[in-house]
Every structure is written in structure tokens, then in C-alpha cells.
Structure 1
Amino acid sequence: MTDLDATTLRDSYDRHLRAHVPDPLPAGVSVERDGPLLRFLGFDEGGFLTYRDLGGLTGDALDELIGRQVAIFRDRGEPVEWKLHGHDEPADLPERLRAAGFVPAERETVVIGPAAPLAAALPVVPEGVRLREVTARADLDRIVVMEEAVWGTDRGHLAPGLAKEIAADPQSITVVVAEAGNEVVCAGWVRYLHGSGFATLWGGSTLPQWRRRGVYRALVTYRARLAVQRGATLLQVDASEDSRPILQRLGFVAVTTTTPYVYTP
């Protein structure tokens, strides 16, 4: 697929990515279907709710669906994220989620771009920085140290979560770090959705002193090359306002927004 029309890309995103279930699932993770909704249980950071669409649910029926999720995670004593997209229907879904106790986090932009042009370039990093693929838990823990330095919040769930994904299916994910000496200055991972034409890029946090030096761009290029080697033609990112302009300069197209709505018991 090479058409970069935003509507066409969004339709493909909805069809291939939004209700994707990894096979095999990481250890301890399970999926339950509740009407149009997929409910993921067993992640270290809590539950996750997603869907291709809500099948036309509105009014009381929609409130009942939302209420069931609240009850389940209240009983489990765990937070849960409802992944809301800007083009989701009905239009009053955000208000209904807030009324049920969900709180919106920072909105991101879903961007999609062709993998081949990025993969044709060599990743260029500043002097003293190297890119390295990692799988060892010690390296995943070093990513957590970097993430917590960037965001100032607990990111401890990342290391065990990534370790479980790698253990479940090492061919479905690659974790890459950018290192300066013994310090991780940036890290990201790429997930391969085999048979869909897509690979998805995650992470990308960069220590403040290493920003605007091409590290993040090099990490995108490196992962694009990995994706193309595995047959992907399109790359998708949930982009923060920091990374969105960089990705759009690299040929990515904004297709919708996504906002995590989180319920915490």
C-alpha cells in the first residue's frame, strides 16, 4: 500500500491495528471480548480496552458497556486504559467516559508513513553515540532509568512488560537503545504485525541534553530498516507533540488523534 491519503490510511489503521491481538500473548496476559470491545488483562500497568468501532452503540447500551469495564477493574483493584480515538463514534463518548470515572491523559496524534523511503537512508547518530539491539533484562532496566529521568514518573512497568513480549515471541518486537558510553540516551522499540503490512514504533524518549542532535531521527530510521526487512510497508506511531513535527518532516501523515482515558479504582 503506497496511497498516503489520510482517510485511506486511517481506514487501514482501523482495520489492521485497532483490534489486533498478539499471538502468542505475553505470559500472564489474556483477552476477553465484551460486545465490540476487547479487554486485555494481566499487563503490569493494568488493563487495556480497544476496539475497531463500537458497532453503533449509543445511550444506555453504551453506558452499560462502559459500566461493566469500571466494575471489572474496580473489583480487580487495577487501573484500565480506554484508548479513545478522535474519529470514534458516538460524539458524546468522551463525556460518557468522564461521567463513569475515566480521566483523559495527554492526547497524541496517530501518524502513518511509508517505510521504504526511511529504510533507504542510513541512520546517522552524533559522535560518541551507537545504536544497539537489546534483549537482556539489565538493558531493559537501563531504559527505565532513562525514561524516569525524562518524565519524572514511575516507568518501572516497562522492563518486565518488554521482557515478557520478547520471551513470548522474539520475532514480533525489537528493542533498540542509543547509548553514549554506558548511558542510554534514547530508546525505542518496533512491533511487527505480520500479515498486516504495518510495523508500529514506540518509545523514543530522549534525554534533554541529547535532543535536537538527530538521535531520535536515527532511531526511527534504524527501526524502519528492521521493519522493511520483515515485509512491512507502513509505519505507525502514536506521536507526542515533541515527535509529531519530526515524523511529519520524515513523510508521516496525521490520520487521527488518540487519548488515553484511564479509570483508577
Structure 2
Amino acid sequence: MVDTATLLAAYDAQMRMPPGAVPAGVTHEHDGPVLRVVGAHVGRVRAPRDIGVTGAALDRLIARQRDYFQARGEGVEWKVRGHDLPTDLPERLVAAGFVAGEPSAVLIGMAEEVAAEPVLPDGVVLRQVSEPADMRRIAEQQTAVWGFDCSWVEDDLTTRVDAGPDEMTILVAEAGGRVVSSAWVIYHSGSDFVALLGGTTLPEWRGRGLYGALLAARAQETAARGFRLLHVDASPESAPILRRRGFQEITTSRHYHWNPPK
């Protein structure tokens, strides 16, 4: 059993910056210790565990990111983990106008331990997809689940597949030709990790094992490709399922959002 301190050290070393091919229209720009991800549906800021600046210098760094995306007329999210330094980074983000989202549990699982043959309810088919039409159907399903517009998911998945078709696997569970659950996995080349994303099921299909089936299938593919570790930023709904399958919490994460004034 790998202890949580070892998992956290590996996570900090390997999972801080976006991996692999950059999708068309997206650029990565460094500003001192942070990385700006520009050109996606929302701007993103990623940083090492210890940003290395404090006080007024940190305030200026935060303001530059906010002002950069304001000039573009775009929103930006800054991802902060619970063990990041300096410890007052969240307070300084809020003081700069960022709004804290809900926290997630950062969970790590062992691919070989989680991998299993997926068990599906009667009438449900699991399918790997990559065509634009399926990306559109996933976006529509995600919108139905979350209750707000997730149309950006179609373009995000399509451009990711175009940039690196071997760097992700996208799965849908279908019943009667309808997407009832969807999930995908991004392989972090050169690391021990993959990131499990999506993992959403229509309300009327919950409680029938679809989340677990998609998890097992993704872990199978992950292990087959030689990756050891599964990473999830888990919601309160999915975290208990993952813990029952042996995932361990190593820290928390939280997105701080800033949107330009309307």
C-alpha cells in the first residue's frame, strides 16, 4: 500500500501542469511561477504547490492574471489545493474579486486494483466514442445533468481528440440510443497518472451502477496502457463511491472564479 504522503508528493511533482498536446486555439503562457491557459472556454491559471511570492508581490501576480483575462473579455479560474503555499493565497484571490467554488476531495486510486469488467444494467450498452456527433450528445447529456449550459463540452472534447487522439478515452453508456452516462480519462504521458473526468449520470439512471461501471472500464484501459494511478477531483456525491473502491484522499482542491463585469 502506497502511503498518502508518497501519493501527494507524486501528485505535486506530476499533476500541476496540463499534459500532452495543446488543443487547437489554446496557448500556454508563463507569467513568473504560474501558467496561463488561454483560448479554452474559460481561462485557467495553474501553479506549483509553492508559488514562491508573498504579500504585495503575490497581489500583483493575481491582479495581472485577472486583468489579462479582463482585457480579453473572458473569465478565469485559479485552481488551489488545500496544502498550497502561501497559505493566504485563497484570501488574496477573494480580495482581488475571485469567488470560491465548492471544494472537491483529491482522491487517488490504484489502477490495477480498481480495474474490473464493467457490470451494466439490462438494456445499457457501453461504447467508446470519438466522433463530433457523439461529443454533441455528451454535451447535451451534461447540460441535462447539471441544469446549466454545458455546450462548451462539445468543443472541448473535440479539440482534445483532434490534438491527441491517443491521449484520452471517452465512454458513453447508452439506453435506447440515449446517452444516460458519460465519462472520460486523460492520460498524462511521462507520468504515473491519469485524470478521470466527466462521470455524470442522468438523475433517473442513478443508483444502477453506471458510475461504477464507467470507473471500472476506465481503470481497465488505464492499467492496460501501463499507468498506475487514477486521479479524481471528487464531488461529495462521487467521493463515497470512490472511497469504497480503495481511493485515498491526499488533499482538497477548489476553483476560484473571476468573471468580467457585465
TM-score norm. by structure 1 comes to 0.96
Alpha-carbon separation, structure 1, partners of 2:70 and 2:18: 25
Corresponding residue for 1:172? 167
How far the C-alpha of 1:145 sits from its partner, in A, is: 1.4
How far the C-alpha of 1:81 sits from its partner, in A, is: 0.6
How far the C-alpha of 1:46 sits from its partner, in A, is: 1.4
Corresponding residue for 1:114? 110
Q: Identify which of 136, 139, 146 aligns with 1:141.
A: 136
How far the C-alpha of 1:54 sits from its partner, in A, is: 3.5
Cα RMSD for the two superposed structures: 1.0
The correspondence of residues 68-217 of structure 1 with structure 2, limited to 5 A, is: 68-119=64-115, 121-217=116-212
Alignment length (residue pairs): 260
Provide structure 2 residue ranges, at least 5 long, that are not aligned to the other structure. Answer: none
Are 1:30 and 2:27 an aligned pair? yes
Alpha-carbon separation, structure 2, partners of 1:250 and 1:26: 33
How far the C-alpha of 1:146 sits from its partner, in A, is: 1.1
How far the C-alpha of 1:106 sits from its partner, in A, is: 1.5
SS of corresponding position for 1:125:
coil
Identity %: 48
One-letter amino acid of the counterpart of residue 6, structure 2: T
Alpha carbons 1:37, 1:54 under 8 Å: kept: no
One-letter amino acid of the counterpart of residue 35, structure 2: L
Corresponding residue for 2:14? 16
SS of corresponding position for 2:16:
coil
How far the C-alpha of 1:262 sits from its partner, in A, is: 0.7
Alpha carbons 1:4, 1:253 under 8 Å: kept: no
How far the C-alpha of 1:96 sits from its partner, in A, is: 0.4
**Off by >3 Å, runs of 4+ in structure 1:** none
SS of corresponding position for 1:232:
coil
SS of corresponding position for 1:222:
helix
SS of corresponding position for 2:97:
coil
Provide structure 1 residue ranges, at least 5 long, that are not aligned to the other structure. Answer: none
TM-score norm. by structure 2 comes to 0.97
Greater shift, 104-113 or 46-55, is seen at 46-55
Alpha-carbon separation, structure 1, partners of 2:87 and 2:50: 12
Are 1:48 and 2:48 an aligned pair? no
Corresponding residue for 2:252? 257
Alpha-carbon separation, structure 1, partners of 2:227 and 2:199: 20
One-letter amino acid of the counterpart of residue 131, structure 1: L
SS of corresponding position for 2:191:
coil
Q: Identify which of 58, 61, 64 aligns with 1:62.
A: 58
